[in-house]
Amino acid sequence: MVINKVIRWGLLSASLIAILTLTAMNVYMLYDVRDTLIQGEQKKQIALLDEVVLNVRRTIYRPYRGFNTLELEPIEGSIEERGQFPEQVREKIVQVAKSPVFSGVYYTPAKIDPCTEGSQIYVLDRETSLLNLTNQYPKNLCDGVGLVRTKARIELNNFDYRWNTNTEFDAHRSMNIGFINLHENSVIGYLTATIDRDYLINEVITPEIQQYFDSSKTKSVVWLHDWANDVVLATNNNQIPFQIEEVQQRVDFGRMFENWNLKIAFLDNASVSLYHATFTKNIMVLGFSVASLLGALFYIFYTAQKERSILQQQADFLANVTHELKTPLAVMQAAGENIADGRVTQPNRLKEYGSHIYQESVRLNKMIEMLLDVARSDYGTTLIHASPHNLHLLVKNIIQQQRPLAKKKGHSIDYSYDTDEALVLVDPDHIKVILTNLIDNAVKYSNGPSTIDLQLSATTEGFNVHVKDQGIGIPRSHIKNIFKKFYRVEDSLSAKTKGHGLGLSIVQGLMELNKGNVTVKSEWQKGSTFTLFFPEYHVHPTEINNLTQKDGMALTSNRETSSIASETIV
Ligand code: ADP
């Protein structure tokens, strides 16, 4: 027995641990997959940002392709003699001027300082592709040329130049190239291409961002942010305002546009949100499976426990019944023996013994009836002989039979009704068992003499019969159990009162069989009211005729006639 218990509990705990471990592992795995997916997706998006930067760089640098291999020394002579670049250099510079990213192309010979106002430098006429002298040039040329000049000065003093150009960006304003005479290690002049900032932002960077981060496909937001001035210059999604806390990654443009960088906030993207949907479904299915599995386990366990407790109850019941059966038998045996032996001869003693034998045989009979009822209802073999009856008359008759029995124990029974036309389809024998059980209980569970109230009332759908007592009542926690077989409330009065906890279970079973139901309201130490509900029976007109012809009587509202009619129909 103990071993069985240990095995049962052991297996249950092992299964529980296995289920929970499996579930935890699965959930962990799902989270892990999600994280990997998110990380992979984020890496992909950072690579796209890098690509945007690369494309922008390409757009700026592409026109300068081939500059490194140009023969630049002849520039000085050409400019001095003809005021123009040598042909092969001019071709390349025209190529720069054609790029819409640059708003203008200027050439400053090394000996001229563009920072001195009114200096004469060259500007490339985009239409004729010729250099013209001008003193009208953007002020920032001074900065751009200055940058290259400073750098070239430092580097020329320290190294031998290997490249014939030296490029410097003046932030996002201009791109400056120093032309170097590699033989003399000196600067020839400076080519400055001023950047069309609006074009760069609106026509280059914005389309790039929008193409790579199409807001209809991704929820990630990308901003081109000028951090020095804290302004957003371009974005793929105008609906979402820039918030520095949301930024998860940034990519620089490097030396080219020092103040600018691309910032990204990874909001849910398509594949991650797709995964989220699957993830939620997975979790739900998993949760459901685990819940059903646990439910099944607990159910099996619960039912096993319950079966055990029912078996226990039945064993108790059998012991109880055997004892109860033996008691009247022992009394009858002893009384019978005494009479048979001729030991009791006085007439009054004989009467007393006879009455003992009679009472005990009645008790025995009652108990056997009850056991049979229980057995029948357990096997579902209780038969019902239902026919239309006037409930009022049935109740009245039963009360008349029960009154003297109750009176013997000091109780009176009151009956009131608000209708005497309560037509119901029932088995009258069942109604008798039901009401007798309830009245019996009302008597048993009352401390002293009291009045038991029976009341018949009509409802919209049928009729109620209330059986109200002023007895000990039923504690709230027990109410839900009292209709169960063998259930008895454990209090001192119930302990003293004979019973097996079967009466109410029989009442409930019979009420169901008669298409009604039984409910109870009770207050501890104040009393209980059991309510029986019967659905109304509606007689079909043809049925009335049949009944009338067959029985020669009508189901009328008249109390007397309905009483006769009811008895006749039965
Ligand atoms: P029995 O009366 O044989 O014990 P029942 O099934 O008729 O079995 O009742 C079950 C239990 O419900 C009783 O043991 C008793 O504790 C409680 N009970 C039933 N009717 C009443 C009542 N009218 N007042 C108080 N307790 C009641």
What is the tens place of the pLDDT at every residue in 463-493? 999 999 999 999 999 999 999 877 888 776 6
Residue 191 has pLDDT above 70, yes or no: yes
Residues with CB under 6 A from ligand 1: 441-442, 445, 469, 471-474, 482, 487-489, 494, 499-505, 528
Place of tokens 């646990």: 294
Residue-wise DSSP of 441-478: HHHHT-SSS-EEEEEEEE-SSEEEEEEE--S----HHH
Residue with CA at minimum distance from ligand 1 atom 21: 441
Residue with CA at minimum distance from ligand 1 atom 2: 499
b vs e for 442-469, b when ≥16 Cβ sit within 10 Å of the residue's Cβ?
bbbbbeeebebbbbbeeeeebbbbbbbb
pLDDT digits (tens, 9 = 90+) for 340-350: 998 888 899 89
Domain ranges of the chain: 2-61+271-307, 65-195, 320-375, 383-569
CATH fit for domain 383-569, picks 2.40.110.10, 1.20.200.10, 3.30.565.10, 3.30.750.24 = 3.30.565.10
Residue to probe by mutation, ligand 1, list 317, 488, 525, 526, most atoms within 8 Å of CB: 488
Residue 379 has pLDDT above 70, yes or no: no
Measure CA 186 to chain center.
77
Helices and strands (H, E) in the chain, number of each type:
15, 17
**Nearest by Cα to 506 from 452, 421, 435, 425:** 435
Residues recorded for the chain: 570
- Supply the pLDDT for residue 549: 42
Distance CA 30, CA 26 (A): 6
- Supply the pLDDT for residue 162: 65
Residue with CA at minimum distance from ligand 1 atom 7: 503
Three-state DSSP at 131 gives strand
Place of tokens 């580097």: 155
- Supply the pLDDT for residue 393: 96
- Quick one: DSSP state of residue 203? I
Average pLDDT over residues 116-137: 90
Give 404 Cα–ligand 1 centroid separation in angstroms. Answer: 21
Cβ partners under 8 Å of residue 95, min gap 6: 63, 65
Residue-wise DSSP of 229-283: TTEEEEES-TTSPP-GGG--EEEE-TTTTTTEEEEEE----HHHHHHHHHHHHHH
Average pLDDT over residues 518-539: 95
Q: How confident is the model at residue 516 (pLDDT cuts 50, 70, 90)?
A: very high
Give 488 Cα–ligand 1 centroid separation in angstroms. Answer: 6
Average pLDDT, the chain: 84
pLDDT digits (tens, 9 = 90+) for 5-54: 788 788 878 888 888 888 888 888 888 887 887 788 888 888 999 999 99
- Supply the pLDDT for residue 378: 64
The answer to whether 302 and 71 have CB atoms below 8 angstroms apart is no
- Supply the pLDDT for residue 380: 62
Residue to probe by mutation, ligand 1, list 480, 502, 504, most atoms within 8 Å of CB: 504
pLDDT digits (tens, 9 = 90+) for 196-255: 999 999 999 999 999 999 888 777 899 999 988 899 999 998 888 898 888 888 998 877
Return the ligand 1 atom nearest residue 437 CA. Answer: 7
Give 109 Cα–ligand 1 centroid separation in angstroms. Answer: 118
Residue with CA at minimum distance from ligand 1 atom 14: 488
Phi/psi of residue 436, nearest 5 degrees: -65, -45
The answer to whether 526 and 509 have CB atoms below 8 angstroms apart is no
Residue to probe by mutation, ligand 1, list 317, 474, 505, most atoms within 8 Å of CB: 474
- Supply the pLDDT for residue 546: 53
Q: How confident is the model at residue 373 (pLDDT cuts 50, 70, 90)?
A: confident
pLDDT digits (tens, 9 = 90+) for 304-343: 888 888 788 777 767 766 776 787 888 899 989 989 998 8
